[in-house]
Amino acid sequence: MNAVLADRILITVAPTGAETSKADCPQLPTTLEELVDTARACEVAGAAMIHVHIRDAEHKPTLDLGRLTETVAALRESTDLVVQLSTGGSVHDPLDRRLKVLDAAPDSCSLTMGTTNFGDDVFSNPWPFVCELYQLSQERQVVPEFELFDLGQVHALHRLLDKYGLPYGGKVHCDFVMGVPGGMPGTADALVAGVSTLPDVVTSWSATGIGRTTLPVALAALSKGGHLRVGMEDVLTISRGVPVESNAQLVERAVELADLAQRTPTSTAEARTLLGLSP
Ligand code: KMH
Ligand code: ZN
């Protein structure tokens, strides 16, 4: 792991996701303007990376390449955040469209390590797709963030790295996505089990807990020296029954929690070093 950055914490914001509707949550950033404003506010609050899902003119999830490319450009123009595009999309997106996301040339992409039941739906990530997406990320010089929804996916990560070697940039960054109904629970025990079996070549990891598991997972991740992902993709309440006002509010809370653990948010330049991107 990165001893040099031991007192630093990478905060990733996942502001939108693909599973919440604008009608249910008007404060969700779904237009490009809202996303850029959110990104700016979250950078000021302490985030260094943004995990991006975009929406169409009707606020529905889309993988439209033109919109993705425009979004990457707009975020680069307005912020220094590391721009990570979701290749997970929504549970309804076909695999071929998800591979095309890399054509938008982000800094980073999410790469989920296996198929997961996702509430009543299925988040499909068959092994050949995982391998193809990983090789494409190496070719296109995009740094993957390996998303781990279940403990078996940690083993799949060993298998992938054994077969195809290290990612572009030479660093291996993972994110535990916990508490999805169908995946691993959002508990300290599950996090410890996952972290203890990570491949030795992993250089950094973060965690996020969905819904009511957000705080337990964040506290467990801080206790284990991990990084944090926060945002309205993962949670819509700031405390029991109280809606989140903005993504920046969640980033601010992450900074406060990190401060208690004597960790300071990475700058965007430090985040690039941590992830194997050029500064
Ligand atoms: N929307 C979820 C089905 C990712 O961004 O890579 C998948 C997801 C993971 O959000
Ligand atoms: Zn996502």
- 263 φ/ψ angles, rounded to the nearest 5 degrees: -125, 140
How do residues 72-127 score in pLDDT, each as one tens digit?
Answer: 999 999 999 999 999 999 999 999 999 999 999 999 999 999 999 999 999 999 99
Regarding the beta carbon of 124 and ligand 1, being less than 6 Å apart is answered: no
Give the residue, out of 20, 21, 84, 86, with the most ligand 1 atoms within 8 A of its beta carbon, to mutate for a pocket test: 86
Strands in 113-220 per DSSP E: 116-118, 121-123, 143-148, 173-178, 204-209
Task: Report the distance separating Cα 183 and Cα 197, nearest Å.
Answer: 17
Q: What is the average pLDDT value for the chain, to the nearest integer?
A: 97
Judged by DSSP in three states, 88 sits in coil
* Confidence category of residue 6, pLDDT binned at 50, 70, 90: confident
Which residue's alpha carbon is nearest to atom 4 within ligand 1?
A: 88
Please tell me the distance between residue 27's alpha carbon and the centre of ligand 1 in angstroms.
20
Regarding the beta carbon of 121 and ligand 1, being less than 6 Å apart is answered: no
Please tell me the distance between residue 4's alpha carbon and the centre of ligand 1 in angstroms.
31
Total domains in the chain come to: 1
pLDDT for res 21: 97
What is the span of the domain harbouring residue 161?
3-275
Give residue 141's region: left, alpha or beta (phi > 0; psi -120 to 50). Answer: left
How do residues 214-254 score in pLDDT, each as one tens digit?
Answer: 999 999 999 999 999 999 999 999 999 999 999 999 999 99
Element (H, E) at 110: strand 108-112
Token couple for 73 = 């450009």
In this prediction, residues 59-66 reach a mean pLDDT of: 98
In this prediction, residues 34-53 reach a mean pLDDT of: 98
Give the chain's radius of gyration (CA, Å).
17
In this prediction, residues 56-60 reach a mean pLDDT of: 98
Is residue 16 pLDDT above 80, yes or no? Answer: yes
Here the CATH number for the domain that contains residue 214 is 3.20.20.70
Q: Are strands 242-243 and 237-239 parallel, antiparallel or unpaired?
A: antiparallel
